[in-house]
Copies of this chain bind each other. A is one copy, B any other.
Amino acid sequence: MEALKQRIIKDGIIKEGNVLKVDSFLNHQLDINLFEKMGEEFKKRFEGQEINKILTIEASGIAIACIVARHFNVPVVFAKKSKTKNIAGEVYTSKVESFTHGRVYDIIVSKDFLNPEDKVLIIDDFLANGQALIGLSNLVKDAGATLVGAGIAIEKGFQKGGDLLREQGVRVESLAIIDEMDVEKGIKFR
């Protein structure tokens, strides 16, 4: 998606260690107009697919998921990263290893909000090693629901997540796939 790629080039900051900072528009300050365009694009790419629920993971995934959900006219469910008092006993759970934060955490979704009848589109801001996406797809599987696909804003194509998921038969639609990223040479999109 051209508008997103141009924005990454304009405002993205490449840091050592394959870190791409896009916090001025994607995951700290949020450009809602850009998210609207992303919603339109996902709607186009998953045209004709039956989708009745969008699943994402806190925190920054929620922002994009909510705007995208308007275009599909469906509710959003977000997986939480730890058990809180406000979640009742019965949950689906999966483990996710975060390379950004260097730790393993549980993600959970209440069993009330994922059912065998659900046709689920997963939305997230980043796809790198694919750990969050695999965790979310495990929740969908555990619920007996159908995974229609995954819509990702930025995929780091040089990391293994995208290939891994596609090999498993998951339809992954990424709006910008970065094949090379270098502090000096900049970004090369697929």
Q: A residues bordering B, Cβ < 8 Å?
A: 19, 21, 23-25, 27-33, 35-36, 58-60, 62-63, 66-67, 69-70, 73-78, 80, 84-88, 100-101, 109-110, 112-113
Contacts and interface: CB of A to CB of B under 8 A. Distances in A.
Contacts of A88: 21
Contact of A100 (B74, B85, B113): B85
Nearest to A34: B75
Contact of A77 (B28, B58, B67, B78): B28
B110 A28 contact: yes
Contacts of A62: 30, 59-60, 62-63, 66
10 contacts: A19-B85, A23-B113, A28-B110, A29-B75, A30-B69, A33-B73, A59-B62, A59-B80, A60-B62, A85-B100
A101 B85 contact: yes
Contacts of A21: 86, 88
B78 A110 contact: no
A164 to B, nearest CB: 23
